[in-house]
Amino acid sequence: MSEPAPPPARVGLHEIFVTFLLIGATSFGGGVVAYLRAYLVESRRWLDDDEFMSALEISQTLPGLNATNMSIIVGDRLRGVGGALVGFAGMVLPGSVLLFVLGALYGQHGHKPFVTAALAGVAAAATGLLLATTIQLGRKELHAVFDLALVAATCVAVSVFHLPLLVILLTAGPLAVWWYRPRAVAAPAGDAAADR
């Protein structure tokens, strides 16, 4: 895909808002990419699979969260800055309102033993979810010994040596990009597209 595909027929700002509001309200459990794909590619047909993967690639490479980055990139794609703004607002609003309510409940009942115990259970499960997500992404993205070494070095630098994140990004980042500099990459064509 060398030429950007033309955006689909003009989509209303309210449609963008409502669609991301639905994604924002239903994507429980952290797996927001599946919800994004179900709505944007399958239900609304605003993007085809290639366009979706391309937007996702940007979201994942850049700093920030997939969910909000995707809402901004796709919203912008469909209706420019206005689309990006309403996409972002829709994505954040439901969770934000619910979290406000949960926060108020926590403020009133957070000291009670059954609340503490329930949250401890949630935290334990969240740890499992984080680990599983990291392993799944690792299986997909890590191909070489260098990759594994970089994962280990980064994790140790943060978890054991507590180096500042900025320092790690500014040293390991350029090094890793240089390692995969264009002439060193012999990836077969279509590798990026098959990469999910």
Contact with another protein (CB under 8 A) among 9, 185, 190, 194:
185
Q: Of the listed pieces 8-16, 41-49, 132-140, which binds another protein according to CB under 8 A?
A: 132-140
Position 102 contacts another protein (CB under 8 A)? yes
Question: Which residue number, 44 or 95, has a Cβ lying nearer to another protein?
Answer: 95
Question: Which residue number, 19 or 59, has a Cβ lying nearer to another protein?
Answer: 59
Q: Kindly determine how many residues on this chain lie close enough to bind another protein according to the rule CB under 8 A.
A: 105
Secondary element (H or E) of residue 88? helix 66-109
Going by the DSSP 8-state scheme, the letter that residue 48 receives in this structure is: -
Residue 157 makes CB contacts below 8 A (sequence gap 6+) with 163, 168, 172
- Report the site for another protein in 41-70 (rule: CB under 8 A): 54-55, 57-69
Cβ atoms of residues 81 and 95 within 8 Å: no
Cβ atoms of residues 58 and 69 within 8 Å: yes
The single residue listed with the structure tokens 């239900």 is 43
Position 193 contacts another protein (CB under 8 A)? no
